[in-house]
């Protein structure tokens, strides 16, 4: 896309607000529990599950179900592709920000 | 939202990939023509119109129809609220980027 704007390179799977949050938190925490994500992102369980499913289908996260004591828990980790995808998103956002912050030419 | 993640402060009207592109280009160009936006963002006319309509309804852009010679043209400009909304989005993305780039604590 030689002539396109930086946003044309953004992947909507990653850029979407909630999914970007999931990837960022999983990146910070390495392994993150469903309930923690839900609180941090202020989501219903159904809405969070929907976005996790999109990310899992794209191969960007692994979802693991288990127990903590007797309580069922769901853990989310970034895959290697997820780490790469987040880094690419961040790189493209930086290009976009730099363009927006370049003073416009007065014509 | 003292406990929320930075993405909880992002406005989906502004953050959505195509609309962020429209606002960024209108910011760079001050006044931008529909066909130029369409090329830069690699969109169909219908898809671009849909996103422009969301931004106009939110009061973030003005849409003006006129002529250039005999050809009908549609011009887009950022409103003051649009300029503010873009600046807020950029500010929040910077917070997000800074968090992602802070080395994770090894626990």
ipTM, interface predicted TM-score of the complex: 0.88
Residue whose C-alpha is closest to residue A17's, from A89, A67, A91, A66: A89
Question: Which residues 34-73 in chain A show a CB within 8 A of chain B?
Answer: 39-42
Per-residue pLDDT of chain B (107 residues; tens, 9 = 90+): 446 788 999 999 999 999 999 999 999 988 999 999 999 999 999 999 999 999 999 999 999 999 988 998 999 999 999 999 999 999 999 999 999 998 655 55
The DSSP 8-state label assigned to residue B44 in this structure reads -
Measuring CA to CA, which residue among A79, A33, A35, A39 is closest to residue A56? A79
Tallying the residues shown for chain A, one arrives at 107
Residues of B in contact with A20 (CB under 8 A): 7, 96
Check A41 against B7: CB less than 8 A apart.
yes
What pLDDT is stored for residue B81 in this prediction? 98
Looking at residues A55-69, what average pLDDT do you find? 95
- Closest alpha carbon within chain B to A104: B28
Average of per-residue pLDDT across A93-101? 95
Q: Quote the CA–CA distance of A100 and A95 in Å, as a whole number.
A: 9
Sequence-distant (6+) residues with CB within 8 A of A40 are: A21, A25, B3, B4, B5, B8
Over range A21-46, report the average pLDDT: 94
Residues of B in contact with A90 (CB under 8 A): 97, 100-101
Residue matched to tokens 């800074």: B98
C-alpha B59/C-alpha B14 separation (Å) is 11
Dihedrals φ, ψ of B50, to 5°?
-60, -45
- B10 contacts in A (CB within 8 Å)? 17
Domains of chain B: 9-97 (1.10.10.10)
The DSSP secondary-structure symbol of A17 reads: H
């Amino acid at each position: 896309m030689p002539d396109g704007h930086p946003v044309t390179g953004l992947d909507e799977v990653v850029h979407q607000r909630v999914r970007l949050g999931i990837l960022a938190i999983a990146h910070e925490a390495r392994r993150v529990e469903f309930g923690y994500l839900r609180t941090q992102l202020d989501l219903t369980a159904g809405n969070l599950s929907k976005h996790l499913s999109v990310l899992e289908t794209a191969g960007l996260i692994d979802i693991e179900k288990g127990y903590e004591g007797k309580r069922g828990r769901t853990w989310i980790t970034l895959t290697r592709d997820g780490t790469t995808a987040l880094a690419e998103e961040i790189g493209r956002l930086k290009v976009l920000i730099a363009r927006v912050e370049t003073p416009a030419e007065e014509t």
